[in-house]
Amino acid sequence: MKKNLFLVAGLAVTMFTTSCDNNNTGNDTVAENTTAAEAPVQPIENPNVVATAAEGEAATSENTPVMTFQQTEYDFGSIKQGETVEHTFEFTNTGSTPLVIESATATCGCTAPDWTRKPVAPGEKGFVQVKFNSTGKIGQQQPTVTIRANTEPNIVRVALKGNVEGSSIPTAGSDGPVRRN
């Protein structure tokens, strides 16, 4: 125990003495900061973030498709455990170029999305169909589908929400599994 304590204390003293530089007047750091501030900063292009507009520029491109949904959330109410809910979210391409959905992914394996696979021309409609299987689920549920497309922003989410009530079929009790004939 004493050996470890001395080792840790020795390392701490070594770190403290080597990290303090009394010869530094502080002018070096000011000079470094001014040269870093004068250097041009290169922006990092992230396709998930909409770029902010610089002075005199438009925030979004004029030639971008826009996915406009009639609704982005559907309340399916209360269902029994084991039932399946299906809903189709319709959207319109209100942009000026064809809209292409790259992918649609769900938050869990209980939800399966399907979508318009062909490009949606400006002014035309497309769909994202969502199927939710409530097997093994109980209580409040809100499965979400994330849609990635060539729009700005390029990620859009739609969701189902509702309550899954427990099944009236008994499962296993304190005496073991229930046998159904």
pLDDT at residue 153, as a whole number: 85
Please check the confidence at residue 61 and state whether its pLDDT lies above 90: no
Separation between Cα atoms, residue 173 and residue 171, nearest integer Å: 7
Mean pLDDT, all residues of the chain = 78
Whether the pLDDT of residue 52 is over 50: the answer is: no
Q: What pTM value is reported for the model? A: 0.59
d(CA 60, CA 109): 35
- What would the pLDDT profile of 17-47 be if each residue is shown by its tens digit? 665 555 555 455 444 444 545 556 565 555 5
Cβ–Cβ under 8 Å, residues 97 and 61: no
Mean pLDDT, rounded, for 148-167? 91
Q: State residue 158's pLDDT score.
A: 96
Q: Which residue has the higher pLDDT, 178 or 60?
A: 178
Selection from 107, 154, 98 nearest residue 126 by Cα: 98
In the CATH hierarchy, which fold is given to the domain comprising 67-165?
A: Immunoglobulin-like (2.60.40)
In angstroms, what CA-CA distances link 8 with 17, 18, 20, 94, 156? Answer: 14, 15, 19, 65, 52
